[in-house]
Amino acid sequence: MDIDIKDTIVLSDDKEYVVVSKVNHQNDTYYYLIDKNVNENIRFCIENKSRQSLIDIEDKNLIQSLLPLFVEASSKAITKEDIEIMQEINE
């Protein structure tokens, strides 16, 4: 799947999600997603390579272990221009 940080995707619930972070960990690709319209709606997913789809992760220990990796990956992907846009939106 060709999904990257900052992309917007539509999942099976017909909601749009922004890819906040993406990490490769132990030969799997994981995604941290936020609903574009309801920021409190957060999903953590793993890529199902054979079906070309994303599957929700419900294992809290796995999510907890991935969080530092998500933070690191997203901090590398955010540019100065992204920060300026966010500041303009919040003014």
Residue 49 in any domain: the answer is: yes
Global confidence as pTM = 0.84
Range of the domain at 55: 8-90
pLDDT averages per 10-residue partition of the chain, 91 residues: 90 93 95 91 93 94 96 84 73 67
The answer as to whether 35 is a domain residue is: yes
Can you list the positions of beta strands (E) in the chain? 8-10, 16-25, 28-35, 42-48, 53-56
**The two three-digit tokens of residue 15, written as one number:** 């909601």
> What pLDDT, on the 0 to 100 scale, is given for residue 90?
66
pLDDT above 70 coverage of the chain, percent: 96
Domain count, the chain: 1
| pLDDT at res. 84 | 77
Whether residue 3 lies inside any domain: the answer is no
In a domain, 1, yes or no: no
The pLDDT, as a whole number, for residue 1 is: 75
Does residue 43 sit within a domain? yes
How far is residue 16 CA from its own chain's centroid?
A: 12
